[in-house]
Amino acid sequence: MSLSVKRKISQLYAVLQAYNHAYHALDKPIVSDAEYDRQFSLLQSLIAEYPDYSSDDINKMVGYKALTTFSKVSHEIPMLSLSNVFSEDDLIAFVNRLQQRLETDKPLVFCVEPKLDGLAVSLLYERGKLVRAATRGDGVVGEDVTHNIMTIQNIPKKLLGDNIPERLEVRGEVVMLIADFHAFNNAARLKGEREFVNPRNAAAGSLRQLDAALTAKRPLAFYSYGIGLIEGGKLADSHFQRLQQLKNWGLPLTDEVSLQEETTDYITAYQGLLAGRSQLKYEIDGVVYKVDDIQLQEQLGFIARAPRWAIAYKFPAQEEQTILLDVEFQVGRTGAITPVAILEPVFVGGVTVSRASLHNGDEIERLQLKIGDTVLIKRAADVIPQITQSLQSPSNAQSIIFPQQCPACDSDIKRVEGEVVSRCVSGLYCPAQRKEAIKYFASRKAMNIEGLGDKLVEQLVDAALIKTPADLFNLTTEMILPLERMGEKKAANLITAIENCKHTHCAKFLLALGIREVGEATAKNLAEHCAGDLATLQNTTAEELLLIADVGEVVAQHILYFFRQAHNRDVIEALLAAGIYWDTVEEKTDDLALAGKIFVLTGTLQAMSRNDAKQALQTLGAKVSGSVSSKTDYVVAGEAAGSKLKKAEVLGVTIVNEMELAYMLGLSEK
């Protein structure tokens, strides 16, 4: 038994040293913080039960060994870490232990601070001037990062004010603010460069650069949390007041530092910071309680790796590690294909998580995920869980293959160049897109089937009465009468409305098909191009489509993908067979005042709405586009016109105001 315990302690120590090295020295964590805390707590409990099997190295384990690439700095006063508690009962027990050691039952006053999740550093000031900066290292020896620290803008190179000690060592945390972290990663993504996993890794990786010029490009910040060495001066006898002195000398301090005296106040402070965590500008992973009276701190002293007078009450883990078991591919209502990670269930952020969105194929590639990997799961502020990192990949891990056919209908999946989302292009047929496709088909601007609202469409689909828009034309009064809130008159009116919509316009029919990015203007242009003959449009090449007004490369690809799908063509044939028709010879506009002219409307119009202006222009034969190009004839600029106006100016397109538009429409005289 004794040998197995000794071996277990040695194994845990070796494992934790490896975790420490990966986390602190390499800035590449291989386990979650929660897993590290569990293993460390287990080691502590074994040492407490079997002290003879421990050693000084194990007892003093704090951080990491300094890398040889940096100069070493010996801390004149060791930089110790903090012990942790994870519940209210543990916190109260900690307070009770302090009162027993101090032989008092009076409430203890604590300085309560947010526990920043960054990299601990020491700043040495001599006669108010910053002369050296070092990382914590293993608590005894750290790394000299003076040149890098000098690039952090909110660290004063010279302290301000009076009564500054001859030598003063300030301790604090270097962090990357959350907003800066996201901005940095977005910029890195656009450049195809490496992104950081989280703000803590970003701060550590940025500070520990051999080239200070690289650190200078990273948006780092520093916040003070304590004092080490003091020579040639005297500070306040209150930890809280010492922090205020640092603030007055120009050193940054977190806004959330407070003094708390009663047990209920200790808990309330924790709950307040936990509840407001997502609103803070920096990441925190707990609350630190420090006995405020410096004399009591000195009386309480230290244990091997931490002060007795301070404790960190950790928040529930927002990150946990688990196994990626599989990946499923879901089809959204617009045809978007979303990979979903199937996980070995893990408790994180207050809930058990077994699934997480992977967003798109690029995200899988960015994370370099494989089935079987040990992954890090994050669930912050009740948001949807997400995989942030692959920690380890076993030798038998399997690559994730993005499907080429839709999982719901077996149609092709396409990803248009410039977009991150892959989509099923069989919108009229795909079961996953069924309801939305039919709602759009029946909408006012499309086939305008009066009485066929969204809820009724959902009822019809749920009752398996319709699967595609073509099925609407097979409905009878008897079929829909059993539906909820469906009387005979309402049923008869709906059947009549469906019958009446059969006589339509080619442009409205094309719009009703729901081809991606084909709006009213584009549908009208397509109808004019094919003169109402769908067969002509279905056989149009990409090159021919690009010659049509308001059709660019992306829209052309969407049109081609749509008509190439056999399922979509089948539905179109069924719709035509059901009796939908329009005048084959579309109304000619050659003789109209604005025939063939392309307009773009931008800004706010006063005398009429943009929709009214659009209809008036189209009545006179004009085409109204949603974007400005070299083909545009006029841009109508209302109030607060933006980027479209600027582009028109660059391209030399004629710009008219609302008064000039009214004249062109024949609504006013010059």
Residue 637 burial class via C-beta count within 10 angstroms: exposed 0-12, middle 13-18, buried 19 and up: buried
**Would you call 615 helix, strand, or coil by DSSP?**
helix
The distance in angstroms from the start CA to the end CA of the chain is 103
Residue 284 CA, chain-centre distance (Å), reads 18
- Give the Cα separation of 429 and 411 in Å (integer): 9
Largest CA distance in the chain: 104
Tokens of 532: 């109402």
DSSP assignment letter at 315: P
Considering only CA atoms, which of 490, 497, 457 is closest in space to residue 465? 457
- Give the Cα separation of 218 and 611 in Å (integer): 48
- Give the Cα separation of 478 and 621 in Å (integer): 45
Tokens of 664: 């062109």
DSSP assignment letter at 25: I
- Give the Cα separation of 2 and 585 in Å (integer): 95
User: Considering 8, 106, 115, 588, which one is annotated as catalytic?
Assistant: 115
- Give the Cα separation of 445 and 584 in Å (integer): 20
Residue 115: active-site member: yes
Q: HEC profile for 206-251?
A: HHCCCCHHHHHCCCCEEEEEEEEEEECCCCCCEHHHHHHHHHHCCC
Query: Interior CA angle at 180 toward 174 and 181, to 5°?
Result: 80
- Active-site positions? 115
